[in-house]
């Protein structure tokens, strides 16, 4: 029989992770390194569930064998392609019949199989516990167009620990944030991605995160992590308006006019009717820079209001004229002076 492992040993184990839940369950959220390897289709899973509720466990088990039995050869061939060394990890939702059944099939075919105690539910508990683990962090703030995302990437390239909240969410955090990016993950899977990255930070160096509200597009930052962000020291980078406009035109210059107009319409109530119409006219005329200048006025006012609401003084660092790499190096150099509240050993 397959050997069950707790979540920590399971994640550190060898061989591909096969998620034998239905495709819909996998799509909603999964262990980031797991491969979708469904025992049942979404429709088959619904049939078995209905049978369990209306008739009972024994009938549901028989139906499950009827549905999965003809696919056993397909399962074995697919597993061979994924794991030539015959080492596999398998999980389902609760660590019950589906992972046990798939593990039994694959063990008969000569695989060494480990299952996950408690299944995906145990993994989700691990996600919440991991995100609640306190770590030293520093928040990178700055007005829209300051190049924070590029600076975070430069910090990572220089060896600094970085948690890219927008990158993992496939969203830049504004009404325009989804343009030219892949679809966003579900909030559940976003949490999984964040936890996977958070667990890799085994360092006393502060972890860099961009200043964000609770939501990044449709993804919600977990409460455990957001509470740490709210209490963390922050640094604000400052660029000239011309440079910020240059960067926004560079980022959104390839977006379709219709998408830019739709994103502008979404902030009509806050931007104002006249300004919204003027920005849209500039977009139609191909003058994205002029449109961005109007839209930035709204985002700048929102940014200042948020700072005033928090009644928090954030040290500034002028990076006008600097590349992302130069900005990152300056941030690393100046961090002890900008955030002296961070313990000295954290910055050495």
Q: Order the strands of the 3-5 sheet from edge to edge.
A: 3-5, 112-116, 87-91, 17-19, 35-36
Point out the catalytic residue in the list 51, 72, 92, 292. 92
98: Cβ contacts below 8 Å, ≥ 6 apart: 20, 21, 39, 40, 92
Q: CATH top-level class for 135-347?
A: alpha beta
Encoded tokens for 200: 């890799």
Residue 199 is classified by DSSP as T
* Cβ proximity of 91 and 116 under 8 Å: yes
Residues 340, 345, 348, CA angle at the centre, nearest 5°?
90
320-339 residue pLDDT tens: 999 999 999 999 999 999 98
- Domain spanning 3-128: CATH 3.40.250.10: yes
Residue 115's Cβ-side half-sphere holds a number of Cα atoms within 13 Å equal to: 25
180-207 residue pLDDT tens: 999 999 999 999 999 999 999 987 889 9
200: number of Cβ within 10 Å: 9
Encoded tokens for 20: 């034998």
Q: Quick one: 319 exposed, middle or buried, by C-beta within 10 A (0-12, 13-18, 19+)?
A: buried
Tell me, yes or no, if 92 is annotated catalytic: yes
Instruction: Report the distance separating Cα 255 and Cα 180, nearest Å.
Output: 6
Residue (of 124, 112, 106) closest to 28 by Cα position: 124
Mean of pLDDT over the chain:
93
Task: Find how far residue 238's CA is from the centre of its chain.
Answer: 26
pLDDT of 312 > 80? The answer is no
Domains of the chain, by residue range, sit at 3-128, 135-347
For residue 95, name the pLDDT band (cuts at 50, 70, 90): confident
The helix (run of H) or strand (run of E) holding residue 209 is strand 207-210
114-172 residue pLDDT tens: 999 999 999 999 999 999 999 999 999 999 999 999 999 999 999 999 999 999 999 99
Long-range CB contacts (within 8 A, 24+) of 331-339: 331/140, 331/151, 331/155, 331/235, 331/237, 332/155, 332/158, 332/160, 335/138, 335/206, 335/235, 338/235, 339/138, 339/206, 339/233, 339/234, 339/235, 339/315
325: number of Cβ within 10 Å: 15
pLDDT of 348 > 70? The answer is no
């Amino acid at each position: 029989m397959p050997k069950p492992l707790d979540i920590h040993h399971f994640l550190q184990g060898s061989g591909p992770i096969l998620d034998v839940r239905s495709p819909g369950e996998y799509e909603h959220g999964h262990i980031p390194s797991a491969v979708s390897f469904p025992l049942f289709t979404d429709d088959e899973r619904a049939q078995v569930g209905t049978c369990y509720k209306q008739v009972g466990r024994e009938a549901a088990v028989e139906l499950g064998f009827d549905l999965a039995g003809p696919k056993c050869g397909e399962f074995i061939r697919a597993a061979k392609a994924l794991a030539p060394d015959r080492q596999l990890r398998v999980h389902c939702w609760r660590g019950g019949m589906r992972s046990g059944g798939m593990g039994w099939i694959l063990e008969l075919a000569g695989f060494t199989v480990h299952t996950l105690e408690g299944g995906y539910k145990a993994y989700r508990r691990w996600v919440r516990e991991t995100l609640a683990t306190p770590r030293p962090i520093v928040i990178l703030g700055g007005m829209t167009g300051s190049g924070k995302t590029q600076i975070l990437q430069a910090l990572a390239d220089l060896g600094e620990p970085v948690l890219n909240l927008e990158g993992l969410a496939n969203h830049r955090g504004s009404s325009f944030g989804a343009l030219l990016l892949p679809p966003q993950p579900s909030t559940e899977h976003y949490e999984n991605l964040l936890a996977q990255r958070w667990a890799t930070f085994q360092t006393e160096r502060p972890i860099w995160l961009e200043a964000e509200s609770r939501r990044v597009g449709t993804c919600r930052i977990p409460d455990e992590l957001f509470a740490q962000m709210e209490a963390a020291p922050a640094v604000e980078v400052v660029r000239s308006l011309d440079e910020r406009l240059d960067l926004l035109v560079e980022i959104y210059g390839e977006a379709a006019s219709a998408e830019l107009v739709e994103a502008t319409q979404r902030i009509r109530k806050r931007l104002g009717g006249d300004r919204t119409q003027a920005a849209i006219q500039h977009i139609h005329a191909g003058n994205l820079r002029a449109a961005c200048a109007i839209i930035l006025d709204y985002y700048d006012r929102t940014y200042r209001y948020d700072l005033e609401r928090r009644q928090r003084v954030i040290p500034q660092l002028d990076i006008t004229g600097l590349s992302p790499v130069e900005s990152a190096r300056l941030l690393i150099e100046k961090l002890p002076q900008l955030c002296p509240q961070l313990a000295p050993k954290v910055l050495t």
